[in-house]
């Protein structure tokens, strides 16, 4: 490379770096502004994870202002972490989730059932008191947790409830697996694609050979949260996760052009979640720059 072309490359690169920073900031700001009514939801800033108790946090959200609640509470005594030692899934928590949810909204709660934890049973009893049960999704994982005497444990569950049986949103256009052609489709399926069932077998756990992408001991794959978001909300609507952990729901919301509201008690997870969001913004900015350059 001649000195002249080297100088020109350096100039282009530094311009690109400045432009890159501008695009990242603009992207994050535009996401914060995406709900074009306001950047705030009551006193809460959209697209920000608050390090605070979720019941306290939800009290700052106005009635019927959230389109979807998708959350993954501690299952209680499954992982040896302090935050998993006692049950925080209470009547009071569900009553706040119900209050902030729009009549068209759904609530998805991850849970499990096994020798150590019966969160599925406990959460159903609490949710049943205030909401309408719709379905139970089973996520069939690829790897299992072995018991010395017992079945290899390879599943997690997700409870789906609605606030209003008539008004809840179900996006028919998003009820198909667009990567799965019709071959094994259900009868009466008019689509080219296979319809999702309530047993999800196609999503791998986060770790499995890609440990660098695991930030939390109970981290959910982004695809699980994206599927729920796409089925129950439209672009720019608001998704609430009371137990953000490493921010998976927030990442899924941004990737699908939704806004999120979130709470997480542990400062280190809030920091990790923010790093994930920044790196997502970074990727998005890179994509936009490449498009501009082409």
Ligand X SMILES: C[S@@+](CC[C@H](N)C(=O)[O-])C[C@H]1O[C@@H](n2cnc3c(N)ncnc32)[C@H](O)[C@@H]1O
For residue 283, the minimal CB distance to ligand X (Å) is 18
Q: What's the CA gap between 274 and 245, in Å, rounded? A: 11
Q: What's the CA gap between 201 and 197, in Å, rounded? A: 10
What is the Cα 248 distance to its own chain's centre?
5
Distances in Å between the alpha carbon of 211 and those of 67, 207, 208, 249? 33, 5, 7, 19
For residue 118, the minimal CB distance to ligand X (Å) is 16
The edge-to-edge listing of strands for the beta sheet with 132-145 is 48-50, 259-263, 238-241, 66-71, 101-111, 153-162, 132-145, 199-200
For residue 95, the minimal CB distance to ligand X (Å) is 15
Q: Out of 49, 156, 228, 245, point to the residue binding ligand X (CB under 6 A).
A: 245
Residue 156 interacts with ligand X (CB under 6 A): yes or no: no
Residue 265 interacts with ligand X (CB under 6 A): yes or no: yes
Residue 53 interacts with ligand X (CB under 6 A): yes or no: yes
From residue 11 to residue 50, the character string flagging contacts with ligand X as x (rule: CB under 6 A) and all else as - is ----------------------------------------
What sections of 33-159 are H helices per DSSP? Answer: 54-58, 91-100, 119-128
Q: Out of 27, 89, 200, 243, point to the residue binding ligand X (CB under 6 A).
A: 243
Q: Out of 67, 72, 226, 237, point to the residue binding ligand X (CB under 6 A).
A: 72
Q: What's the CA gap between 239 and 161, in Å, rounded? A: 15
Residue 226 interacts with ligand X (CB under 6 A): yes or no: no
Query: Phi and psi dihedrals of 25, rounded to 5?
Result: -60, -45
Residue 88 interacts with ligand X (CB under 6 A): yes or no: yes
Binding site for ligand X (CB under 6 A): 53-54, 72-74, 83, 88, 216, 218-220, 243, 245-246, 248, 263-266, 269
């Amino acid at each position: 490379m001649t000195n002249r072309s080297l100088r020109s490359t350096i100039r282009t690169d530094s311009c690109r770096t400045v432009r890159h920073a501008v695009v990242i900031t603009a992207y994050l700001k535009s996401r914060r502004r995406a709900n074009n009514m306001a950047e705030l939801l009551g006193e809460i800033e959209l697209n920000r994870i608050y390090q605070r108790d979720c019941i306290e946090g939800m009290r700052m959200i106005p009635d019927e202002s959230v389109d979807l609640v998708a959350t993954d509470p501690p299952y209680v005594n499954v992982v040896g972490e302090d935050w998993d030692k006692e049950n925080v899934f209470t009547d009071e928590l569900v009553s706040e989730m119900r209050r902030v949810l729009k009549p068209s909204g759904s609530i998805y709660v991850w849970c499990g059932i096994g020798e150590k934890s019966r969160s599925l049973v406990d959460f159903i009893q609490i949710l049943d008191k205030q909401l309408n049960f719709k379905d139970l999704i089973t996520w069939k994982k690829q790897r299992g947790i072995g018991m010395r005497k017992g079945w290899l444990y390879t599943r997690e569950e997700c409870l789906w409830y609605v606030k209003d049986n008539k008004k809840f949103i179900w996006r028919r256009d998003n009820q198909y697996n667009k990567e799965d052609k019709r071959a094994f489709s259900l009868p009466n399926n008019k689509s080219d694609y296979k319809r999702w069932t309530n047993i999800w077998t196609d999503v791998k756990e986060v770790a499995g050979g890609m440990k660098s992408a695991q930030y939390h001991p109970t981290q959910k794959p982004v695809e699980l949260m994206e599927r729920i978001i796409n089925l129950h909300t439209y672009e720019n609507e608001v998704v609430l996760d009371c137990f953000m952990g490493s921010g998976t729901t927030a990442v899924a919301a941004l990737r699908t052009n939704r806004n999120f509201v979130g709470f997480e008690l542990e400062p280190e997870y809030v920091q990790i979640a923010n790093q994930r969001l920044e790196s997502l913004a970074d990727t998005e900015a890179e994509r936009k720059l490449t498009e501009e350059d082409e």
